[in-house]
Each structure stands twice: as structure tokens, then as C-alpha cells.
Amino acid sequence: MAFINTSLSHAAADDKSAAVFLSYWCLVLDVAGKGRNEAYELLVIVNADAQIAIHDWLSTRGDEPGPLFVSFSPSSRGGRLSLRAIRGILKAAYKAAGVRGRGKTTHSLRHTAITKAIHNGAPIQRVQAMARHANVGTTMIYFHELDRLAEPAEALIEYGDN
């Protein structure tokens, strides 16, 4: 998960590699990739509430270089959040929102975001880029799943006296 390596770094105002910058009407985070060929990837934040939350956090956190989101646990205070910590935060948020089920994970959110983008008409190339899929075939799986749900063959079966 690339997001745990999100850091804030000092950069000139006109430097496109700045860790956090505004682009048109969205907030963009320059995220250090984990286990990927690219050194950095862009995470685009278009949701207004999420943009406000990040701006509020940055005003509290300050603009010193280092991890954007830090651990407050005694063993790793001030260090990057671990995957385990992120899962715990998400699990607590799911619980608070009334979302139940063992199958609800950090990956569930990723799957939901990809599916919603497709459902709302995003072109496959944009969805592939958002999902960071190297192979468009991986992205096509989501398109096929959505088609399967939208027009199930089971709906064409005549049952009894219908």
C-alpha cells in the first residue's frame, strides 16, 4: 500500500515534485511508491471533505519534512504508520459507521473506488491509472463484474408461471 509512505518534503513553490500541491480543483499528494518501479505516484484528492481534512491536518502538523501521517504508539511514536495501524484505524472507522463483516478491509475500499469510477462512466484508461494496474486486463475484471451485475443472465430465465 503506497499510502503509508506519504511524506511532506520541502520544495520550491514552482517545483512540480512537491509532496502536496493544488492542481486545478483538486489536491494532489506525491506519494512514495512501495515496491513499485516508479519512485513517486500521484494520489488525487477531489472530495472536498477529504481536502479540508488534509489541509487541517497540515496546519496542525506543520510543514517539516517527514511522514505525513505518523504513529502515536509508544513503540513507534513519530514514525510512519504501519499497515497494521492503518488496518486498525479503518476497522474502527467501519465499526463507527455501522459497517459489519469480516470481509471489509482496506482492499474493500480500493475495490469500491474502482467499481464506483467505472459505474459513473470513467474511461478504462483513467481507471487503470487510478488503480495503478500495470495490465489493463486487471482493470477489465472490474468492468466485467459490473456488466455481470447490471445484466445478469439469470434475469432471462422464466420461472414457473411468470
Per-residue pLDDT tens digits for 33-52: 555 555 566 777 878 888 88
Tell me the whole-structure pTM to 2 decimals: 0.65
Please write the tens of the pLDDT for every residue from 98-139. 988 888 888 888 888 999 999 899 999 999 988 888 899 999
CB 50 within 8 A of CB 41: no
Per cent of the chain over pLDDT 70 is 75
Find, among 81, 58, 55, 65, the residue nearest to 7 by Cα: 65
User: Average pLDDT of the chain?
Assistant: 77
Q: Give the integer Cα–Cα distance in Å for 47 and 44.
A: 9
Q: What is the pLDDT of residue 135?
A: 92
Q: Which residues contact 144 (CB under 8 A, 6 or more apart)?
A: none
Please write the tens of the pLDDT for every residue from 146-160. 877 788 888 888 887
CB 8 within 8 A of CB 65: yes
Q: What is the pLDDT of residue 75?
A: 87
